[in-house]
């Protein structure tokens, strides 16, 4: 791996662009370790501070991870939806995305996911969904609320995975994470009718009935949206509670 010397007052931006270019070209792959800061500074012909600033920016973007210690350094990460989640969260906080926007997008994406999953889901995909629903029902009966939230996140992730399209997995997860913040703050909990609805949706997927599955999902998402609005009429993202 080799980088070209650079010049200019915003050297860290050029450093970031060169590292991104090597990742995009698969010259750097997940798990690969970048040269030490000192070596990078020599290759780029810049100060170590410029290299450090570039690496921090790449870390914030979710492209690399920085680890301390004898075996530490800068490592290329596996693809992640963390940057997408951060962008959605920031836009919601700044009022650039409304709750109505979020729900409309969620409904639209879930329609695409269910349309595709009804055609592409494998027997294993359907079995994983069934196990998730069974586990959710058990958690509901035991009143394990934190587990319920995780299982619900898994449910939507499994639906997206059943499309065999990783792009849909990448998109749906951060959207759900934002919705989850509203759900938790509003005190919304899963109920037996929710479990029944998921089982009915699974029946529709097994029958390759996309239209039926979509109707069930839209009804559920609109119900959740209305419940959130009853608690947060302005649709403003609730603040994250900090420990005291």
**Measured distance CA(125)–CA(155) in Å, rounded:** 11
Indicate whether 6 belongs to any domain: no
Identify whether residues 179 and 224 lie together within a single domain.
yes
Long-range contacts of 121-127 (CB under 8 A, 24+ apart): 121/162, 121/163, 121/205, 122/162, 125/158, 125/161, 125/162, 126/162, 126/202, 126/205, 126/206
Over residues 177-206, the pLDDT tens digits come to: 888 888 888 888 889 999 999 999 999 999
What range defines the domain where residue 130 resides?
82-231
| CATH number of the domain within which 48 lies | 1.10.10.10
Nearest to 76 by CA among 94, 84, 64: 64
Whole-model pTM?
0.68
Please tell me which residue, 119 or 93, carries the higher pLDDT value.
Answer: 119
Indicate whether 2 belongs to any domain: no
Identify whether residues 70 and 175 lie together within a single domain.
no
Identify whether residues 39 and 129 lie together within a single domain.
no
Identify whether residues 61 and 149 lie together within a single domain.
no
Domains contained in the chain, number:
2
Residue 33 DSSP class: B
Q: What's the token pair of residue 175?
A: 């959207």
- What is the per-residue DSSP string for 120-162? H--HHHHHHHHHHHHHHHHHHHTT-HHHHHHHHHHHHHHHHHT
Over residues 5-47, the pLDDT tens digits come to: 776 657 888 888 898 888 888 888 888 999 998 989 888 888 8
Q: Which residues pair with 64 in a beta bridge?
A: 76
């Amino acid at each position: 791996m080799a980088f070209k010397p650079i010049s200019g007052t915003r050297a860290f931006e050029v450093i970031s662009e060169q590292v991104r270019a090597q990742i995009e070209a698969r010259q750097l792959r997940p798990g690969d370790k970048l040269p030490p800061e000192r070596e990078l500074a020599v290759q780029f012909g810049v100060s170590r501070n410029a290299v450090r600033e570039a690496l921090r920016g790449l870390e914030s973007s979710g492209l690399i991870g920085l680890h301390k210690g004898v075996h530490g350094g800068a490592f290329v990460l596996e693809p992640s939806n963390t940057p997408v989640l951060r962008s959605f969260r920031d836009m919601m906080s700044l009022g650039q995305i409304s709750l109505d926007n979020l729900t409309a997008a969620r409904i639209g994406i879930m329609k695409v996911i269910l349309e595709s999953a009804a055609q592409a889901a494998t027997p294993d995909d359907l079995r994983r969904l069934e196990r998730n629903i069974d586990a959710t029902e058990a958690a509901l009966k035991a009143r394990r609320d934190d587990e319920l939230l995780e299982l619900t996140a898994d449910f939507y992730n499994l639906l997206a995975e059943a499309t065999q399209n990783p792009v849909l997995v990448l998109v749906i997860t951060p959207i759900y994470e934002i919705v989850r913040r509203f759900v938790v703050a509003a005190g919304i909990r899963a109920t037996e009718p929710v479990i029944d609805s998921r089982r009915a949706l699974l029946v529709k997927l097994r029958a390759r009935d996309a239209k039926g599955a979509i109707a069930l999902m839209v009804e559920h998402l609109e119900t959740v949206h209305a419940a959130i609005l009853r608690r947060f009429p302005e649709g403003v993202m609730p603040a994250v509670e900090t420990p005291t």
